[in-house]
């Protein structure tokens, strides 16, 4: 558990936001055409191709409403982003990074060079989701004492 902190004028530390990150295994099974998911909390071991849910609980412990709260999580090493995350809505915006959190975009792009009509052309194309390195939500307002759960899924390499 970690808390975002800002120094107070008296030299003490004010706790503002508490972050709790959990990693759970998502097991999928299909019986008679119906697919169900089982969540295994805090698995001891995982195997290649397993799907994990990275879930952060963000709690405002500042005693007042907070504006523009950034909640960023790196995609864990040994995994790749699977394409599923708590989506953008009227309260927060979801962005991704492909450069370890230096820049973020709703759809990150990368530069590629292709041959068109015999000529080399450089263009920007959407980066594959498995190249995403970080996920970040920007919460417009986090109310006093409010908790939010935000998550994304990764596949074990």
- Give the mean pLDDT per block of 10 residues along the chain (157 residues): 42 77 95 93 96 97 96 97 96 98 97 91 95 98 97 98
Residue 36 belongs to domain spanning: 2-156
What total of structural domains would you count in the chain?
A: 1
- Rounded CA separation 72/48 (Å): 25
- Rounded CA separation 128/110 (Å): 9
CA distances from 106 to 58, 68, 148 (A): 21, 17, 21
CA distances from 85 to 7, 12, 123, 153 (A): 32, 36, 27, 6
pLDDT at site 2: 41
- Rounded CA separation 137/120 (Å): 37
pLDDT at site 141: 97
pLDDT at site 15: 82
Cβ–Cβ < 8 Å for 78, 123: no
Rounded to two decimals, the pTM is 0.84
pLDDT at site 5: 41
């Amino acid at each position: 558990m970690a808390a975002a902190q800002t120094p107070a004028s008296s030299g003490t530390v004010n706790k503002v936001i508490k972050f709790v990150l959990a990693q759970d295994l998502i097991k999928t099974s299909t019986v008679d055409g119906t697919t169900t998911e089982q969540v295994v909390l805090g698995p001891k071991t995982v195997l290649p191709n397993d799907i994990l849910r990275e879930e952060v609980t963000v709690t405002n412990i500042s005693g007042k409403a907070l504006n523009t709260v950034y909640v960023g999580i790196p995609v864990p090493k040994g995994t790749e982003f699977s394409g599923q995350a708590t989506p953008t809505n009227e309260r927060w915006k979801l962005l991704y990074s492909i450069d370890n959190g230096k820049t973020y975009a709703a759809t990150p792009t990368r530069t590629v060079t292709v041959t068109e009509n015999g000529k080399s052309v450089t263009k920007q194309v959407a980066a594959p989701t498995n190249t995403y390195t970080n996920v970040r939500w920007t919460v417009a307002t986090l109310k006093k004492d409010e908790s939010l759960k935000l998550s994304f899924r990764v596949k074990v390499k």
